[in-house]
Amino acid sequence: MIVRMGLLRKRPDLTTDAFRAHWRDSHGPLAAKLPGLRRYHQNHVVDRAQRAISYTRGSDDFDGFSELWFDDMPAMAAAFATDHVQQLGADEARFIGELELITALQHVVIPTPAGVPLIKRMSTLKRRPDVSAEQFKAEWLDVHSFLVKRLPQVKGYTQNLIFDRSHGRGRPATYEELPIDGIVELWFEDSDSLDAAFASDAGKTLMTHATEFIAEISTFLVETHEVV
């Protein structure tokens, strides 16, 4: 299964509350009608502080992250080739100022427990300029994921390895135009457990390893709305 993610910035003339309400109440039900859509989550950004880590942050700032799951690339392409996409585009203009799209392979390292209230931190990653895409993939998926498992009190961890980028729909983006290599999803019981995890010896080892292949980490606390 693959995931299509939208990196959303609200229209500058909208308040944050208006942006969230339109996305959740109007756009969500509309996007849920895409054929072949397996799951659809909205992640509303509620905090942009560099939570629990001291690391170089990128310049990108987002108001939300959408996640749409499809069986494979043909299924996703078929969904976005339908007339329904025109309705989506028209509605997006009502609340989105800028939209970047990425497609990623999703690697669930630690499944989240069902029915348990948790906080979620999402992070965008940019690799070091001296690290190739293949080196980044190997370090992140094979080594870093193992180190995350050692964090105390971590409740969930998912890696999204990006392999396709675009500025909105139909306008492919180069890596230089959208230099994000991966998106992290981490779940904890609360902010205190998040802070404690990264302050632990395991957390310090994890972040030392990050310096070997990651140039920038930008963190966002989000509230997730599960549409499908």
Instruction: Report whether CATH 3.40.190.10 matches the domain 2-226.
Output: no
Tokens representing 2? 């693959």
Helix or strand run (H / E) with residue 36: none
Tell me the mean pLDDT in the region 85-98: 97
pLDDT tens-digit map of 15-64 = 999 999 999 999 999 999 999 999 999 999 999 999 899 999 999 899 99
- Taking alpha carbons only, the member of 38, 6, 22, 43 closest to residue 30 is 22
Domain boundaries in the chain? 2-226
pLDDT tens-digit map of 210-222 = 999 999 999 999 9
pLDDT for the residue numbered 60: 85
The share of the chain scoring above pLDDT 90, in percent, equals 97
Give the up-direction half-sphere exposure of residue 70: CA atoms within 13 A in the CB hemisphere. Answer: 18
pLDDT for the residue numbered 169: 85
- Give burial (CB, 10 Å; 0-12/13-18/19+) of 7: buried
Residue 27 CA to residue 58 CA, distance in Å, equals 28
- Taking alpha carbons only, the member of 148, 137, 127 closest to residue 197 is 148
pLDDT for the residue numbered 170: 81
pLDDT for the residue numbered 39: 98
For the four alpha carbons of 61, 8, 26 and 108, in that order, the dihedral sign comes to negative
Kindly report the number of other CB atoms within 10 A of residue 100's CB atom. Answer: 19
pLDDT for the residue numbered 99: 97
pLDDT for the residue numbered 181: 99
pLDDT higher than 90, residue 144 = yes
pLDDT higher than 90, residue 154 = yes
Give the pLDDT band of residue 159 (cuts 50, 70, 90). Answer: very high
pLDDT for the residue numbered 42: 99
pLDDT tens-digit map of 169-207 = 889 999 999 999 999 999 999 999 999 999 999 999 999
pLDDT higher than 90, residue 79 = yes
Per residue, the 3-state secondary structure of 83-123, as one string, reads CHHHHHHHHHCCCEEEEEEEEEEEEEEECCCCCCCCEEEEE
- Taking alpha carbons only, the member of 103, 96, 86 closest to residue 30 is 86
How far apart are the two ends of the chain, measured CA to CA in Å?
A: 15
pLDDT for the residue numbered 140: 99
Distances 145 to 131, 157, 202 between C-alpha atoms, Å: 18, 8, 12
State how far Cα 43 lies from the chain centre. Answer: 8
